Amino acid sequence: MGLEISSLINALPGACAQGLIWGIMAIGVYITYKILDLADLTVDGTMCTGGAVCIVMMTTGHSVGVSMFWAFLAGMAAGLVTGFLHTAMGIPAILAGILTQLSLYSINLRILGGKANQAISLEKYDLLVSLRWIRGVPFYQNTIFVAAVAIVILVAILYWFFGTELGCSVRATGSNPNMSRAQGINTDFTKILGLMLSNGIVALSSAFLAQYNGFVDINMGRGAIVVGLAAVIIGEVVLGRIHGNFAFRLLAVAFGAIVYYVVMQIVMWLGLLSTNDNKLLSAIIVAVFLAIPYLKEKYFRKAAGKGDAQNA
C-alpha cells in the first residue's frame, strides 16, 4: 500500500504540469464559452494546429519563441475562419466551428507533411517545457514553474485587454448583443476578434503540449473541448464564489484544469477505470461538476428553506 501511495505522489507533479498546460487552453475556451456566450468547437482542430506549426517550424531551424508565435497566429487564423462563417455567412457558431474543425484535419496533415505525427528531440532542440523536466532540474527550468509563469503572463495580458474599450466591447457583445449594437458596437467584428483570440490561445497551449510530450499527433486535439469545459466548470464550482475579479476567474479556470488532471490521475491509480476509458471519465467528470450547482440549488436550498420555515 505504501508503494502504491508513493507511486501516486510521484505521478501528481506530472498531472499538475499537464493541468497547467491544458489550463492555458481552458482560458481560451473560457473566452468563447463564458465571455462571448458562443459554443465553439474549432478548438478540437486548433489544439493540433498549434502543436503542428510549432514542431514543424522548430525542426526546420526556427527558434522556439518564433515557432510558438506562429502557432498562435495559426490558431487566430482558424478562429477568423469560424468567425467569418458565423457572421458573414450566417452559419450558427456551433456548426461553423464543426466545419472549421473538419477542414483543419486535412490542413494539419499538410502541415505535418502527410504524416500522422512528428517527434521532436529534447537533446537536439531548445524546448521550453518537457515531461522530463518535472524533477531534478533548476526551478526556472521546471515545467510546472514555466507553465505557471506563462499562465500568469497570459492572465495579466487578458486582464489588461478586457479592460480596454475594445475588450469591453467584446464582453458587452457576449452579455447583450442587441444592446451592444444599439450602442454602436460592431458585434460581428467583436465576435470574430473573440474567436480569433480564443483559438490563438488554444493553439499556444497546443505548442506547449507538443513540446511537453515530445511529439505532435494528428489526433491530439480530439475531445479537447471537453477538457476545456471541464476546467471552466470545475474552476467556477470550486473557486467561482470566492472572488468576482476577472483575473481571479481566469486563474480559477487554470486551477480547474489542474483539478481535472489530478482527479483523472487518482481515478487511474485506484484502478476504477483503465486508460482506454479516458473519454468516458472526462464525460463523467464534466457531468458531475455541471450537476453540482443545480443539485445544490434544488436540494440544499430547499432543505434550508424548510428549516427556516419550521424555526419561524
pLDDT digit string (tens) for 227-261? 888 888 888 877 766 667 888 888 989 988 888 88
Res. 312: pLDDT tops 60: no
Query: In this structure, what C-alpha cell is assigned to residue 97?
Result: 466551428
Query: CA 47, CA 56: separation in Å to the nearest integer?
Result: 15
Task: Tell me the C-alpha distance between 16 and 27, whole Å.
Answer: 16
Q: What is the pLDDT of residues 46-75, one digit of tens each?
A: 999 999 999 999 998 889 999 999 999 999
DSSP-derived 3-state class of residue 119: strand
Within 8 A by CB and 6+ apart from 193, the residues are 83, 166, 170
If one compares 305 and 154, the residue with the highest pLDDT of the two is 154
Mean residue pLDDT across the chain: 85
Cell numbers standing for residue 160: 489588461
Average pLDDT over residues 139-167: 91
- Compute the distance between CA of residue 215 and CA of residue 121 in angstroms, rounded to an integer: 8
- Going 207 to 263 to 237 to 33, the CA torsion angle's sign is positive
For 185-218, the pLDDT digits (tens) are 899 999 999 999 999 999 999 999 999 988 888 8
Please report the DSSP string for 20-45 in residue order. Answer: HHHHHHHHHHHIIIIIS-----THHH
Whether 132 contacts 75, CB under 8 Å: no
pLDDT (0 to 100) of residue 245: 82
pLDDT of the residue at 52: 93
Q: In the structure grid, which three cell numbers stand for residue 309, read together? A: 420555515
With 80 as the cut, is the pLDDT of residue 33 above it? yes
- State yes or no: pLDDT of 3 exceeds 70: no
The C-alpha atoms of residue 78 and residue 69 are separated, in whole angstroms, by 15
User: DSSP 3-state assignment of 40?
Assistant: coil
First to last CA, the chain: 52
Domains of the chain: 2-311 (1.10.3470)
In the block, residue with C-alpha cell 526556472: 140
Indicate the SS3 state at residue 232: helix
Q: Residue 119 phi/psi, 5° resolution? A: -95, 160
What local confidence, expressed as pLDDT, does residue 246 receive? Answer: 85
Nearest-angstrom CA–CA distance, 126 and 115: 23
Dihedral sign, CA of 220, 221, 226, 227?
positive
User: Is the predicted pLDDT of residue 91 greater than 70, yes or no?
Assistant: yes
Residue 217: in which H helix or E strand, if any? strand 215-217
- Residue 70, Cβ neighbours under 10 Å: how many? 18
